[in-house]
A and B are shown apart, each in its own frame.
Chain A
Amino acid sequence: MTTTQERPDVDDGPEARVAPLLRVTDLSVSYVPPKKGTSLGTGAALTEASLEVRPGEIVGIVGETGSGKTTLARATVGLVRPVAGRIEFAGQDMGALRGRALREFRRSGQVQLVFQDPLRSLDPDLTVAALVREPLDIAGTLSRAERHERVVESLRLVGLDPDAMLDRRPRQLSGGQRQRVSLARAISTRPQLLFCDEPVSALDVSNRNLVLSLLDRLRRDLGLAVVIIAHDLRSLAGIADRVAVFYRSRVVEQGPIQAVLERPAHPYTGLLTASAPSVTHVDRLRPDQLRPDPEARSWPAHGVCVFAARCRFAHDACTDQPAPVRLADDREAACHVAGEWRALITDSKEAS
């Protein structure tokens, strides 16, 4: 009773040579201004983060709450101004956009953000038709008739029947339908890039796969680039081309999803994959092999590698935050012993 959907283009992953649609370089964001004389320090929501998204690709961002995932999305659409670093979208330096130009860029809806259950924060009295049309009203480029047509088309693209949906209000929709309506709203301006913040966290597995398959279809039908933000690795399984792992405001590892998650180079990625519950008994590391020894030396929260306090492999060199280094298979990790820590793992559970 499970249906396997057609996936004719499974193998035509985006070529590495294609110019990135979004290129974020050494981006730092702080919601609290840094104290005099300190660098970014404690208030940093994002520290020297670099990430590229190519047209037609799905990039997953994982990390715990507060690790800076949403901040990256907000900075990209200009909702928060970076302290340092560069954001280029379709070759355009976003930092150079100010005032009117910035407002126009935002209105154009080329980059759209979809939050978890966004309809909850919207006017409950608006109909689906009005909700999906709103970004088009703001962009102001289409005629009334064109806008209506676009709304109908967008609802169809997300698999909803326009006739049944147009006049409904958010409370008359199921969880899955609301998620679809918010996607229809996000794609109504035909964006080039879609940021989905925790799109499936509130859904159970079956609906999760429905929404993820839908995102994948939109990527194909509209040539969209999609960034899926998740705190659960499993919501990226089978869907993302690449993944970036965030930890305390930093990108600690990134690369092709299979390479990163099957052979993690950063100890935090290792802990994440070891902790992800699974129904299949796979041969993998256990979380207790990666948790620090309770007797181990304690590390300060700042000024050392961001992961030191929770890292089993922390050693003298870790008093310095490592910069991301390029590794084989097109990935990078920010750890002094990237990948090498595996050799240090002992089978602690059996031994104790």
Chain B
Amino acid sequence: MPDPTTSPVLEVSDLQVSVGDHLVAVHDVSFSIGRGESVGLVGESGSGKTLTCRAALGLLPKTGEVDHGRIVLGGTELTGATRRTWNDVRGTRLGAVFQDSASYLNPSLTVGHQLAEQLRVKRGLSRTDAHRRAVELFAEVGLHDPEGVFHQYPHELSGGMQQRVLIAIAVSCEPELLIADEATTALDVVIQAEILDLLDRLRESHGLSLLLVTHDLAVVAETCERILVMYAGEIVESGTTEEVLARPRHPYTQALMGVATIGTWERRALEIIPGQPPSVGEDMPGCRFAPRCRFATEVCTSGPVALADLGEGRAARCARIDDLEGAPA
């Protein structure tokens, strides 16, 4: 057994996921998440974020499959695990919350019943204990009148409240890792900020690790210690949030910063990233960002570009990383 206090909670290595007719959507993705760490996975929609975390949850859609790669959860090898193993792991060691919270709740059962049931089945609590614990958890995720909420049906709750219920269900079995995929995207900003604060608090009180998946760089900036930037199925940059945002090294990260930064509300010309990402499975010999990159030269497209270690926990996938050092973003 590896030492659980130092080994990462999740280790994904060389993960390749393809969808449909063998179209590669996630290319050799590797990352790890430490105990209690919060990591943000950011990228435009369609960049492969959701497939990556669905693979890590053993929840790929029917049309998707893991071609190769390893997934290790706190020392447990999940690569090629059976459906049964995945079912055991999910809800006990891995929790997940998604954007469309409503569709993960049974509309015909009270939310309290759904949480208590989970506690009974997965944690073996008695009916009375499960009820008591459910009310406690509802209070902990910031639901007012938790006893009242216990007896309500999903449709009686607002989107923000449903998301809190889902979070309560996800953390009810004390998972090691919580994966939140665009969990606050559909919520209004005030509620979004409350939910992000909540995730932060839970991380502390439950010793959770967090993988926050979002297209919104600003959300990650406020919540995560480390960032993984994904583009067209590849991780193109990683590092501590502070470092990456202060000095983005990959031209794509720089572009994302440009479109995401507000600074002032004054009228101005808005920045855009010209062009569109390549389509899924598009075969590109070199850098996948090249068609949209203003620094692209022949060296970028002549062959594969590796994710280079830049030291201090940073990495970037750019053939011109050294030339561009200090170039204006």
Contact = CB atoms under 8 A, between A and B. Distances in A.
B259 A277 contact: no
B267 A2 contact: no
Given A6-B269, A238-B266, A232 B189 contact: yes
A2 B189 contact: no
B268 interface: yes
A206 interface: yes
A278 B264 CA distance: 11
B272 A2 contact: yes
A3 B254 CA distance: 12
Max chain A CB contacts within 10 Å: which of B189, B273, B293, B295?
B189
Max chain A CB contacts within 10 Å: which of B221, B267, B274?
B267
A239 interface: yes
A261 B265 contact: yes
Nearest to B262: A237
B85 interface: no
Contacts of A258: 264-266
A329 to B, nearest CB: 13
Contacts of B196: 277
Nearest to B160: A64
B44 A212 contact: no
Interface stretch (B114-122, B171-179, B211-219): B211-219
A279 interface: yes
Contacts of B192: 275, 277
Interface in B222-265: 222, 245, 251, 254-265
Contacts of A176: 276
Contacts of B188: 64-65, 231-232
Give the contact-size bracket for chain A. 35 or more
Max chain B CB contacts within 10 Å: which of A64, A204, A287?
A204
A239 B267 contact: yes
Contacts of B273: 1-2, 206
B45 interface: yes
B268 A7 contact: yes
Nearest to A294: B144
Given A238-B265, A262-B265, A277 B218 contact: yes
Interface string B142-156: 000000000000000
B1 interface: no
B88 interface: no
A13 interface: yes
Nearest to B269: A7
A274 B192 CA distance: 12
A2 B258 contact: yes
Max chain B CB contacts within 10 Å: which of A213, A240, A257, A276?
A276
B197 interface: yes
Interface string A59-82: 000001100000000000000000
A282 interface: yes
A274 B189 CA distance: 9
Given A2-B255, A206-B259, A258-B265, A278 B270 contact: no
A257 B265 contact: yes
B227 to A, nearest CB: 11
Contact of A64 (B190, B256, B272, B292): B190
A287 B194 contact: yes
B44 to A, nearest CB: 5
Given A1-B294, A272-B189, A10 B272 contact: no
Contacts of B129: none
A280 B107 CA distance: 41
A283 B268 CA distance: 21
Contacts of A174: 276
B105 interface: no
B193 interface: yes
A209 interface: yes
A210 interface: yes
B271 interface: yes
Contacts of B295: 1
A205 B256 contact: yes
Interface of B: 44-45, 159, 188-194, 196-197, 215-219, 221-222, 245, 251, 254-274, 276, 292-295
29 contacts: A1-B254, A2-B259, A2-B271, A3-B271, A7-B268, A10-B268, A10-B269, A174-B276, A204-B44, A204-B216, A205-B44, A210-B272, A213-B270, A231-B188, A238-B266, A238-B270, A239-B267, A239-B270, A272-B190, A274-B193, A275-B193, A277-B196, A277-B221, A279-B245, A279-B260, A279-B261, A287-B194, A287-B197, A288-B197
Given A4-B271, A205-B259, A231-B189, 7 more contacts: A1-B294, A2-B255, A3-B272, A206-B255, A234-B262, A238-B267, A277-B189
A-B complex: 6 closest residue pairs judged by Cβ atoms: A275-B193, A277-B218, A2-B258, A1-B294, A7-B269, A2-B271
